[in-house]
Structure 1
Amino acid sequence: MDEIFRDRVRERDLDNFLVEEIYASPRFLDWIVDRLQRRFIAPSSLTVRLQKSPPREADRRQTDVRVAWFDDDTGMHACVLIESKITADFQSGQAEAYASELSALRLRLGPTCAAAILVAPSAKLRSLTHDGCFDAEIPIEDIIEFLRERLQADDNPEIVRRLEMRIQLLEALCGKRSAAGWVGATIAAKRDFADSYVLLASEIMPDLSVRPSTDGPRAITRIFEGLEIEGLPDLSLRHEFGTAPGWKYANVLFRGMGARITALRANGLLSATHYTAEVAGKSLAIRVATPAVDPTRPFSEERQAVESGLLAIRDLVSWLRGAAPKLSEELNMAPTERQHAGTMPTEAAFAEQLMETYRECERLGYKPTGMLQMIHDHGAIGAAKRLLALRPSDGFNRLALMNRLDLAIESIVQREQWRGLFTDHELKRAAQRLR
């Protein structure tokens, strides 16, 4: 019985354990919420519901476990996302995808009404890097200790046996660590694909090299080395393959620069390009959409998509070199210098303004969900700029009929505290539309 789970457990066993234990034990759920401290406040007197492997709103990837609090009208008031890891590392963009999902949930529910938790063996937690994308890390060993305390306090024979078996399961999961010698296996077909990819990349960008990869099942990003641009901070140039037909990205990542995104979006440097700026954990990403690539298929069948992505990277590098002086000024300026220069309000402050506007519209019986989606996709400032660039929306017309154009984005951007975020042309367009 002691070895019943040895070498027969997988990450999904941890997911199933979490779903069952959270469902059966309110005490366990309270213990999990307590690990979030003040970052998350669980609502009282609401119905708790669970989902296993639900698709996320931001990118349709899956969350391992989702816990949510609902009212009687099935309105969600709070949400906790749980990601489980046993031996695998994060896939490219996986941790950042949680951050994006959290951002959308917090905009909709409130800053302390959504959180994300990472659960893994303690040794695995030490090797995982996520730049603060998760609000709390819970070692499986801590869960084992929690169950052992329950075991000592319960004298029901059936409950005791169930707890003993769950502890054995968790101990077996803790035994499956990277430190035990688990490594990514190289896939022969992907090795051939990788060789062809490197050859084509060297033809298109001879001054850069592709970082060697294990070409294992999760090797779906290629990183380029050799790019150094005077004045720019440390950067990482990446080609994301994706795992299915559709679109992914070529991007350059500036580590630790996520806080500069508001200033970058506001200065107009990207407005005349097809590049967008996004926050990836604590990093800043400038990216462009490229066709998804399937490295398990023959290279000849994927060559067109690969070439399109490599050409996009080449063009991105060319743009970076040309934009380096202005980009360097934005990324390297110290916060105190930016304030002295008349810095813009933060993205978070403007987002809160838009959310307050959304709540006021709700009270009037109108839910501008299109604006919420744009905030999620492009950030609060980016959403406002896009709304100003488009023809008057149905929401604008509806607010006009309600005699509440003070709630329209065209009115909000005219307020003194926000005017500096927008160009003279955008402000003029907003004023003309209001007239």
Structure 2
Amino acid sequence: MSDELFRDRVRERDLDNFLVEELHASPEFRSWLLGHLTARFDAPEGCEVRLQKSPTRLQDSRQTDVQIGWFDPTGAVTARVLIESKVTADFQPGQAEAYAAEVAAARSELGARRAASVLVAPAGRLCTLLDASTFDASVSIEDIADALEARRGEDVPVEVDARLAVRVQLLEALCGKRVSTAWIARTVPEKRDFAEAYAALARERLPALRVRPSTDGPKAITRIFEGLTLPGLPVPALRHEFGNAVSWKWVNAQFSGLAHLAPAARASGILAGTPYSAEEAGKSLAIRARTPGIDPQSPFASQRDAVVAGLDAMAALVDWLKGNAPKLAVVLQGGTPAPRAAAATARNAASLDREFTDALRDIYAQCAALDYHPTGMLQMIDRLGGIGTARRLLELPPSEGFARLALLERIDLAVESLVLEPRWDGIFTEEERRIAQRRLR
């Protein structure tokens, strides 16, 4: 068979299409996959099984990659399994939590063992994806390929054997095993090894931050850090840019949607005497400093000094942001001193986050008393803290939980109501408060 038939680059949607077709056509494969869920899920008997790609979830406007549904003779759904596939991408903000919320709602409606979620990804990605444990089971692409390969040893028709062979090739390409034959894998082994060494060093030098797992693809020339919350400011995206065979690049903090304020930041004087500049980065305002360029395809040892310089520059940038948050908040709010920002910065940021977290947990307890359990919010608190959780929820579309509280006439338990309480003056930006006010109206 000519390799020219398989020169297309594989993508995540190829995995989705494979899962839909194989789960529909092969009850044996479907049983094998569901066997990973025996501790959490029981497939109902005597029901029609239907497959669906990219259905919109009931709890929010997001989509599930693949969904298996069981339907009784009346057409009513009796069980659901949601499948999320990951090849090189990371979870989007709140994505894992949204899956957990959808499964929790389905279990409440269908039964405790009538809904579950599965994460499918290369084995190497399963070890590095944050929030992978949110799913009820994780299945590696390599294991799926082995299961299909095992079937080829059975007495199967020639056509089926040929189809299985092609599908094994596809799966091997998706998990990076095939480089020059069949499909071309997106992952670059050298970059994957580099990313693991980089993450280990980052944990040593920046223990308060989390480095987001790398995609390890051909365009993986940036590392993103999470975990920084600044009073009175939006959550910044902290980026260490490697470049691509260049001498110099940047570490920067990007504030989404505020690119138009770069001239004001430059004119404010807060960057005078510092290594930082204010630049437009797409739609974001970037506060950045120059750092040595890095080649992520070279041996890590040869690039270690440049990596250390970049990580130290990131640490210095974080310290500067913390020390200058009140001044930066003035700039980002149009140059007028904000009483809320002044009040917030007069109090300890960590103490405020603990207080706000306690308030969110109290909300959860009151919701639970109403037989409503927003478990997705609890999981976000563990990852982002209380204030970070509120900001993330304000960034996302209103949840099903918000509508449910409105129906219960307990909108006072919504996160939006908590954000607007006077005791949190200065914690949230004016735009975040306006979003909360609009939703409550």
Length-normalised TM-score, structure 2? 0.51
Q: CA deviation at 1:177?
A: 2.7
Say whether the 8 Å CA contact 2:94–2:392 is kept in structure 1.
Answer: no
Percentage of identical aligned residues = 39
Q: How does 1:309-328 map to 2 (within 5 A)?
A: none
* More relative contact order, 1 or 2 (CA 8 Å, 6+ apart): 2
Alpha-carbon separation, structure 2, partners of 1:168 and 1:146? 13
Tell whether 2:10 aligns with 1:9: yes
Q: CA deviation at 1:81?
A: 0.6
> Partner of 1:278: helix, strand, or coil?
helix
Equivalent in the alignment of 2:82: 81
Q: CA deviation at 1:63?
A: 0.8
Say whether the 8 Å CA contact 2:126–2:132 is kept in structure 1.
Answer: no
Equivalent in the alignment of 2:115: 114
Tell whether 2:362 aligns with 1:263: yes
Q: CA deviation at 1:70?
A: 0.6
Alpha-carbon separation, structure 2, partners of 1:213 and 1:149? 55
Q: CA deviation at 1:110?
A: 1.6
Alpha-carbon separation, structure 1, partners of 2:118 and 2:280? 28
Say whether the 8 Å CA contact 1:151–1:160 is kept in structure 2.
Answer: yes
Equivalent in the alignment of 2:424: none
Alpha-carbon separation, structure 1, partners of 2:108 and 2:164? 39
One-letter identity of the residue aligned with 2:80: C
1:61–1:108 CA distance, 2 compared to 1 (3 A): same
Say whether the 8 Å CA contact 1:106–1:112 is kept in structure 2.
Answer: yes
Say whether the 8 Å CA contact 1:185–1:216 is kept in structure 2.
Answer: no
Equivalent in the alignment of 1:279: 378
1:85–1:289 CA distance, 2 compared to 1 (3 A): closer
> Partner of 1:279: helix, strand, or coil?
helix
Q: CA deviation at 1:100?
A: 1.7
> Partner of 2:127: helix, strand, or coil?
helix
Q: How does 1:152-163 map to 2 (within 5 A)?
A: 152-163=153-164
182, 204, 221: which one pairs with 2:218? 182
Compute the RMSD of aligned alpha carbons: 4.8
Say whether the 8 Å CA contact 2:259–2:280 is kept in structure 1.
Answer: no
Gaps of 5+ in 2: 177-185, 193-215, 223-253, 288-317, 326-344, 368-375, 414-441
One-letter identity of the residue aligned with 2:99: Y
One-letter identity of the residue aligned with 1:286: A
> Partner of 1:72: helix, strand, or coil?
coil
Equivalent in the alignment of 1:123: 124
Alpha-carbon separation, structure 2, partners of 1:102 and 1:203? 50
One-letter identity of the residue aligned with 1:125: L
One-letter identity of the residue aligned with 1:177: T
1:380–1:292 CA distance, 2 compared to 1 (3 A): closer
> Partner of 2:149: helix, strand, or coil?
helix
Say whether the 8 Å CA contact 1:42–1:78 is kept in structure 2.
Answer: yes
Say whether the 8 Å CA contact 1:68–1:78 is kept in structure 2.
Answer: yes
Q: CA deviation at 1:264?
A: 3.7
Q: CA deviation at 1:38?
A: 1.3
> Partner of 2:377: helix, strand, or coil?
strand
Q: CA deviation at 1:382?
A: 8.6
357, 367, 377: which one pairs with 2:401? 377
Equivalent in the alignment of 1:105: 106
Q: CA deviation at 1:200?
A: 6.8
Q: CA deviation at 1:381?
A: 8.4
> Partner of 1:38: helix, strand, or coil?
coil
Gaps of 5+ in 1: 237-251, 269-276, 294-372, 390-435
Q: CA deviation at 1:92?
A: 1.4
> Partner of 1:79: helix, strand, or coil?
strand
Alpha-carbon separation, structure 2, partners of 1:92 and 1:8? 26
Q: How does 1:342-353 map to 2 (within 5 A)?
A: none
1:199–1:111 CA distance, 2 compared to 1 (3 A): farther
Tell whether 2:387 aligns with 1:386: no
Q: CA deviation at 1:185?
A: 7.6
Q: CA deviation at 1:127?
A: 2.1
Alpha-carbon separation, structure 2, partners of 1:78 and 1:177? 35
Say whether the 8 Å CA contact 1:82–1:116 is kept in structure 2.
Answer: yes
One-letter identity of the residue aligned with 1:117: V
Say whether the 8 Å CA contact 1:65–1:82 is kept in structure 2.
Answer: yes
Q: CA deviation at 1:37?
A: 2.3
Say whether the 8 Å CA contact 1:278–1:286 is kept in structure 2.
Answer: no
Alpha-carbon separation, structure 1, partners of 2:411 and 2:37? 36
Say whether the 8 Å CA contact 2:361–2:378 is kept in structure 1.
Answer: no
1:57–1:267 CA distance, 2 compared to 1 (3 A): closer
Equivalent in the alignment of 2:174: 173
1:203–1:73 CA distance, 2 compared to 1 (3 A): farther
1:230–1:29 CA distance, 2 compared to 1 (3 A): same
Say whether the 8 Å CA contact 1:124–1:177 is kept in structure 2.
Answer: no
One-letter identity of the residue aligned with 1:35: H
Equivalent in the alignment of 2:136: 135
1:25–1:193 CA distance, 2 compared to 1 (3 A): same
